[in-house]
Structure 1
């Protein structure tokens, strides 16, 4: 049996590589969502030609009978985009039969795809595999422990902890393919996992114990994973006057290796733990632009509050502890209003978060939900009015993680609790932001309005969630096709024709050579990992230390606009991230729930 599995794996790998090479030699392609489409959902493929070919119609072919089952005109000519000199949107939303199909148009033929109500079934739990694989301390995938000596404090002397004081902060998740750990991304990931379970509990399975090993424990696996993160956040906020922002720094990047014990910081295997003091801290040869304590501490508050609500009927004492921590975290956020950025020692690359009022809005909205105290409504509205639209939605650009999280979660959580003018005001902020992106997106066949900055896939997931939440709050379907186009993009309806999620779908074109030690050193699959995604070509050309290892199977589809490489050497487009994957879990759970007949965002 092991040999059979091995040969099947080799065949699948070779088939994927072969299919990439075949597409590489095609001049006309039809890009699809490789997961498939719901029978009643928006269904659009994109036709693109590297030449000046044009078309006026397309046909949907039943893959079994080879008979045409649907034919339509193509509509608008969208012209050039990226590598394509000509492009069209092929809309077959009016076709509602189920089965396996492919599309033909001109000289182009799409891969086979399914139309069925279960095309998203199990996808959220599949991505959850990546979260478990990112665990530090005990790692259930490796069945071994790592980073068990964390850590020693820095910058906490004014809080009574001189530099190099030993503190126990083991646990949580590695942030990406390096082994740094950030409170800001972890708290955001936890919130998305908790919200996914809160909003769509019926889509999640129970096959793992709390430690991530096989065996049901009566708790959905997504809630187990969220608790793993919450347990770590509790360690990172051990006392009301103590809160820490990250473990380790870019000295971690000494070389690609499997997670173990890191001797890079001058204290044996201990790693530095950076205190939040509201002051500028190290950033390579310079200092970062930290201005306060709010952005990270407010994210703690929101995660703790939502956790306290969901664990009330699971572990009452744990829920009580989380609520107390939410209160102290909110107080910590107010010590010095402002943003907390991350630290680096050798390089200039950090999470350069510049906004914090969105985090405070979400924290206040979560306080309102837990306590019902009207003062938190007023505080949340005040914060909401200070950042109505997440800036990248308007400006079409940002530095790395400059506007984080990538949409304003607080608008949604606050609007759900309000009525009348206040609710409509918050909804209008979402609508204005979506309109800014739509103005750009409607100019190209992919409806692409998300900028190609570093971690563009994370922005894509978040923007799709904002469209989903707007639809849920208003029942307005105006942006449903835009919402779906961002989801389709992630699973192959993009210039490169590849899914951006490792191993999803199983027999599709997805990353096989990500920037990951698990795959590069051990050939371990990193199932469910969402890679960073395409970047502007000028960004790629100016990054430090990138060198492609293998010939580029997508060379024909690179352009002066943007590039994506399924190559271990490209850390800018092909490195998976923990927080992006967590956000994707929410989005995929919403899609599965919706195709089961549920209302988006509602149980």
Structure 2
């Protein structure tokens, strides 16, 4: 080919490139939108174009389903010279759509009620992969020799004393371990289980290997964190802050046994003495013991509350350590920072009163002592707003956790006037961010500091908590914008969670040895996220390894690189992922009817404002006539599960005749047997033959009262305790197993004062129902109450039934029988 032809071809190719080059994009949330949520895409361009309207098309048919008006122009942001918000919230029909402006089309938009379903469990995979001591992903052990002490002389621990602190999670893609981030992560996992248990499944054993164990996987993971925290605070006089230091960064490698610290494979374990500690030629700025110790308190207290019924001994240990950690936090009021040896980078936490507020709030939740409430309020007033929200900047982990968790936990416990005060702190902080956010089309008000994605997830949680506490939906769009940011509505159009969604533009080359050395997936890991360009350009040791696929979207404002060499924007973190897990769980929409891990129905239709009252009876019957009178007076249907012993008792015959025409009556076992071990639920204590005979005997007792087998299809096991065997055996006999809805406390109406902290007064039980209704709704809830209780309990909850029914009816709820609820 002649030189002239080459020249003509070259000029033609340049012209085509100029014509075909893309200058305009539409960013959408790639995981999807829920039908009732705010739904906003962002149009951005490197040209100053004017946008007035947009279209939404059905992705399958091409039919236009919505025509909307664009927002006012937001102008320049990052690499773009013009930007608009495209709000299609009016579209609530589930489906697949495309957003169009002129000839520019978005990627496919999903509108689906369950858009986030399964996402919290998916992110939990990263937490398991971060485990140390035994790593279930690798099916191998690591860091089994930890460790030798530093700075523990005040507790009688000479430097290099051997201690056993193996366990917990690696902090990020390095293998350091910090009590402050681990305690915060543990708290988030526990809170996720407490607040959204239906979002999680049971697919793993406690050690993280395949196979359910009767415990939700998120609670297994939280316990892994608690077990390690117990090792890091083994006694009243000893508390450690971290394992290893930045000598770890000698190489990128898979987790194993590290020989970098001069003691074979042992790693240093840094004691909390409340004083500055050496980091190379510098000292950190530690001023006290409060920040880390207080985080121990809150994690232990919440763990104790959640394990109290299933494992009382473990709960007792957590409560005991919460008390000693609380004392440790007061040894020297101030902040505990981490230690490094070679580099200037540490977790430079600078605030601690927020940690103390949360510690006091969890102590108050457990003991209801005025001094804990007063202490929590005192510290709440000392840091009303997390400082980065006001300053719009911070050093690395300077204000940690990234939102004040204590405000949420405290507000739930306070009377109305003080409650409003604490809620207002959340509102004021959100407003500070909102004022910045509304200046740009992405509604971005979170600063691009290191780990900006962690702040983004945390801030979205604060918005959700504010709405829950106040009922004010003013920040819904801002909350959704922060969620959308994490899943593609950002200048780079990048999702920030490895592998989520599977069809999205998610990280493929994160700063992780798992992916870099062996191409192992790090499913669910939340990467650090964009940083200010000025920060990126001044960090030590960053070198991009590949061509930058996001080069068109970098700017003088901020950068993000999906590149192994960029530890500042593309490294996943354990604590950020734990926060994300809570956020994702809050967005999940379980199916209309819910079964637990064993297959028992524990909730009815979530879309209907109805509840089912369930009463059980065995050896106590003192409340039977009161219950029957109230139900008759209120004309409310209910369900009764009665044992053979109850049915055969002559004192109960008249009562049974009263209820059998209006209400459902079903079996509760003949002799109220314990079918499964309390400590190991998968351990069945009866044979199939014994179970079958027990249930058949129960049915015969029902038949003596004219209740035929053809009318009975639902079974509630005794003690509300069962496992896979029981559900399967009952199913083989034609019974559906049912239980009360998890999270309700009414089933604790059997307790009496001599049980100590397990005792729950009737007013507490009633207020718990009201609080759950107000904050989360009771649609489809199954509410269990006992027909009689031990005489040592004078405060009978069934005496509150009239008030409970009136209140729920006033709030718009209807009542149905359990068999009717399960048919719908």
By the TM > 0.5 criterion, same fold?
yes
Q: Does 1:67 align with 2:42?
A: no
Report the Cα offset of residue 313 of structure 1: 1.4
Select 2:204's aligned residue among 208, 211, 214.
Answer: 208
Whether contact under 8 Å (1:190, 1:226) holds in the other structure is: yes
The reply on whether 1:259 has 2:251 as its aligned counterpart is: no
1:347 to 331, 343, 346: 343
Shift of 1:91: 0.2
Residue 25 of structure 1 deviates from its aligned partner by: 5.1
Note if 1:539 corresponds to 2:549: no
Distance 1:442 1:595 in 2: 35
User: Which residue is 2:274 aligned to?
Assistant: 278
The answer as to 2:357 corresponding to 1:361 is: yes
In structure 2, do the counterparts of structure 1 residues 600 and 263 end up closer, same or farther at CA, with 3 Å as the change threshold? farther
Q: CA deviation at 1:108?
A: 2.0
CA contact (8 A) 1:139 1:145 kept: yes
Determine the C-alpha separation between the residues in 2 that align with 1:246 and 1:258.
Answer: 20
Alpha carbons of structure 1 residues 181 and 108: separation in structure 2 relative to 1, 3 Å? same
TM-score scaled by length of structure 1: 0.95
Per-residue CA deviations over 1:80-128 (Å, capped at 9, x if unaligned) read: 1111111000000011111111111134211012101010000000000
Counterpart check, 1:583 vs 2:579: yes
In 1, are the aligned partners of 2:114 and 2:589 still within 8 Å (CA)? no
Q: Deviations over 1:9-60 (max 9, x none)?
A: xxxxxxxxxxxxxxx9521100011010011110001000011122111101
1:10-21 alignment, distance < 5 Å: none
Structure 1 segments (4+ residues) deviating >2 Å:
593-603
Equivalent residue number for residue 132 of structure 1 = 128
Is the counterpart of residue 217 in structure 1 residue 232 in structure 2? no
CA distance in structure 2 between the partners assigned to 1:465 and 1:131 by the alignment: 19
1:172 aligned residue (159, 168, 171): 168
Do residues 117 (structure 1) and 113 (structure 2) align?
yes
3-state secondary structure, aligned to 2:523: coil
Residues 158 and 440 of structure 1: CA distance in aligned 2, closer, same or farther (over 3 Å): same
1:449 corresponds to 2:445: yes
Tell me if the contact between 1:503 and 1:511 (Cα under 8 Å) persists in the aligned partners.
yes
Partner Cα distance (2:149, 2:416) in 1 = 48
Which aligned pairs between 1:57-456 and structure 2 lie closer than 5 A? 57-456=53-452
What's the CA shift for 1:283? Answer: 2.4
CA-to-partner distance for each residue in 1:323-361, whole Å, 9 max, x for gaps? 000000000000000000000000010000000000000
SS in 2 for 1:202: helix
Alignment of 1:52 with 2:45, yes or no, is no
Preserved contact between residue 47 and residue 108 of structure 1 (Cα < 8 Å): no
SS at match of 2:319: helix
CA shift for structure 1 position 174: 0.1
Alignment pair present for 1:555 and 2:551: yes
Alignment correspondent of 1:11: none
Distance 1:455 1:363, change over 3 A: same
Structure with larger Rg: 2
Provide the secondary structure at the position in 1 that maps to 2:480: helix
Instruction: State the Cα deviation string for residues 573-600 of structure 1 (Å, max 9, x = none).
Output: 0000000000000000001149976989
Does structure 1 retain, via aligned residues, the 8 Å contact 2:25–2:106?
Answer: yes
The answer to whether the 8 Å contact 1:469/1:601 transfers is: no
Q: 2:506 aligns with which of 496, 504, 510?
A: 510
The CA RMSD measured in Å over matched residues stands at 1.4
In the comparison of the two structures, how many residue pairs are matched?
581
Matches within 5 A, 1:460-479: 460-479=456-475
Q: Which deviates the most, 283-292 or 397-406? A: 283-292
Q: State the partner residue of 1:36.
A: 32
8 A contact 1:389–1:430 mirrored in 2: yes
Separation of aligned partners in 1, 2:591 and 2:480:
13
Secondary structure of the residue aligned to 1:153 is: strand
Residues 241 and 561 of structure 1: CA distance in aligned 2, closer, same or farther (over 3 Å):
same
The more displaced of 420-429 and 173-182 is 420-429
Change (3 A) 1:117 1:511: same
Aligned-partner SS, 2:460 = helix
Please name the residue that 1:18 is paired with. none
Residue 562 of structure 2 is matched in structure 1 by 566
Q: CA deviation at 1:160?
A: 0.3
- State the alpha-carbon separation in 1 of the partners of residues 774 and 432 from structure 2: 23
| In 1, Cα distance between equivalents of 2:103 and 2:452 | 31
**Cα displacement string for residues 451-497 of structure 1 (whole angstroms, at most 9, x for unaligned residues):** 00000000000100000000000110100000000000000000000
- The whole-number CA distance in structure 2 between the counterparts of 1:594 and 1:552 is 39
Distance 1:263 1:25, change over 3 A: farther
Contact preservation (8 Å) 1:243, 1:275: yes
> Hey, what does 1:17 align to over in structure 2?
none
- 1:601 shift after superposition: 6.3
Deviations along 1:195-249, whole A, 9 cap, x unmatched? 0000011111000000000000000000000000000000000010000000000
Q: Distance in 2 between matches of 1:539 and 1:273?
A: 31
Q: CA deviation at 1:285?
A: 1.8
1:152-176 residue CA offsets vs partner (Å, 9 max, x unmatched): 0000011100000000000000000
Task: Please tell me whether the aligned partners of residues 283 and 350 of structure 1 are also in contact (alpha carbons under 8 angstroms).
Answer: no
Give 3-state SS (helix, strand or coil) of 1:385's partner: helix
